[in-house]
Structure 1
């Protein structure tokens, strides 16, 4: 995993669905296709002409595409002669890649960890070990970023689990608070690959979540391997809690 992996990614499954839904309108979809294929920044007038609508209606569609993260807008037309006054607004595609999966999957995260494992393999360090280390590092960076952003101070069980639930939800784990001291993860973001190599994938998943807790400095909570059919192999729990509070309701 490289440092490019975002912190709490703003583009989870719900946001991806929202972005895709913007393209459900035919004129907007045709305009977006035209801009993607242009290979250069496109003006509002050009976008309007591409689908035969007014400049005002084109501006409405373009604003929707920008808000959805599919286009970026800026002032300046590099291909036009320099004129006095403000340059026209131009539009171009962003680098956002949208994949919608319900339930949410994170195969790109798993692929990045496995790639680092292959690249980090040495005579005394297997690919699996290197990938596990990369997973722990990625989780730790994520936890450190969230701690720096929120500055929570000392984390007790309740606050730690609440912060973890936000990250887990963003990454598609579908967390459920079984008890006040235990969070079970209803979805495995790495399914169905986890079923093909359970020991490897579950080990990477555990290292990633354990690393996150360390980066967050959430010492009151542990990531524990507790496989359950159809769910994630890890639960987050307070090991010091009473047996009654750790029992499934």
Structure 2
């Protein structure tokens, strides 16, 4: 059975949100994303009345957090020798930042459900059967990537695992709102997702089973029968 090794997990979305808490940095971010094209350090500094070094520092911090992308362009329109160095420019990145307390994973649920509907439509296989298979396949991929620390994986995906005698109780459901309205579908998906995680991680001494209880995830991990 895997051993829980508590550790501090750095959530990149939390770090990105914290970066935007600084007022000057937030103003720069808002300015850049409102423009139709990439913005230089000089342009941003002039627009907000900042020193160039100040603008450069905060723009680079936003780029480090993947909130802005950096591109290089020659603004003169010339190329070749004598054209000068390309300017460092900033533009909105494609990163999507979301943060929920407790942690929620609705995007994952939506992706699995959409895949199941499309494959069912193409093959005629029952949607729920496809959903269970897709969830287990995805879980197995996650488990293979985290074979050395499944407890950490469960923490990263918002299940809030903790020991309770010989079992592992999952205090949070990452699909909570969906599960409240579509319990059979979502809990079945979650069960197969976690079965896949255990299978992919090679955990043979523990199994996932349905054990719904108020204030908890519907799945419980317990010693294999």
Q: For structure 1, which segment, 50-59 or 64-73, has the greater mean C-alpha deviation from structure 2 after superposition?
A: 64-73
Give the CA deviation at 1:125: 1.4
Q: Tell me how far apart the structure 2 counterparts of residues 50 and 224 of structure 1 sit (CA, whole Å).
A: 58
List per-residue Cα deviations over 1:86-142 (Å, max 9, x = no partner).
Answer: 423222222111122110111111111111121111474121221111111111121
- Per-residue deviation, residues 183-240 of structure 1 (Å, max 9, x unmatched): 1110001012101111110000011111111112222221121111111011222226
With 27-36 and 51-60 compared, the bigger mean Cα shift is at 27-36
Given that 2:16 and 2:65 are in contact with CA atoms closer than 8 Å, whether structure 1 keeps it comes out as yes
- Cα distance in 1 for partners of 2:74, 2:177 equals 47
In structure 1, C-alpha distance between the alignment counterparts of 2:95 and 2:141, rounded to whole Å: 22
Structure 2 residues not aligned, in runs of 5+:
1-8
| 1:196 equivalenced with 2:195 (yes/no) | no
What are the residue-to-residue correspondences of 1:202-241 with 2, within 5 Å? 202-239=187-224
* Count of aligned residue pairs for this structure pair: 213
Q: CA deviation at 1:32?
A: 0.8
How far did residue 144 of structure 1 move?
Answer: 2.2
In structure 2, what is the Cα distance between the partners aligned to 1:46 and 1:219?
59
Query: Do residues 77 (structure 1) and 73 (structure 2) align?
Result: yes
Report the CA distance shift for 1:78/1:114 in structure 2 as closer, same or farther (over 3 A).
farther
Residue 56 of structure 1 corresponds to which residue in structure 2? Answer: 53
User: What CA distance in whole angstroms lies between the structure 1 residues aligned with 2:35 and 2:76?
Assistant: 15
The TM-score with structure 2 as length reference comes to 0.85
Residue 16 (structure 1) shift: 2.1
TM (norm. structure 1) is 0.78
Q: Secondary structure at the match of 1:120?
A: helix
Correspondence 1:41 to 2:38: yes
- The answer to whether the 8 A contact 2:159-2:173 is kept is yes
Equivalences for residues 91-240 of structure 1 within 5 A: 91-122=90-121, 124-147=124-147, 152=148, 163-179=149-165, 181-239=166-224
C-alpha change, 1:47 and 1:227, in structure 2 (3 Å) is same
Instruction: Please state how far the C-alpha of 1:49 moved relative to its aligned partner.
Output: 1.7
Measure the CA separation in 2 of the matches of 1:208 and 1:58. 45
What CA RMSD, in Å, does the superposition of the two structures yield over aligned residues?
2.1
Q: Counterparts of 1:115 and 1:13 in 2: how far apart (Å)?
A: 30
**More moved, 32-41 vs 47-56:** 32-41
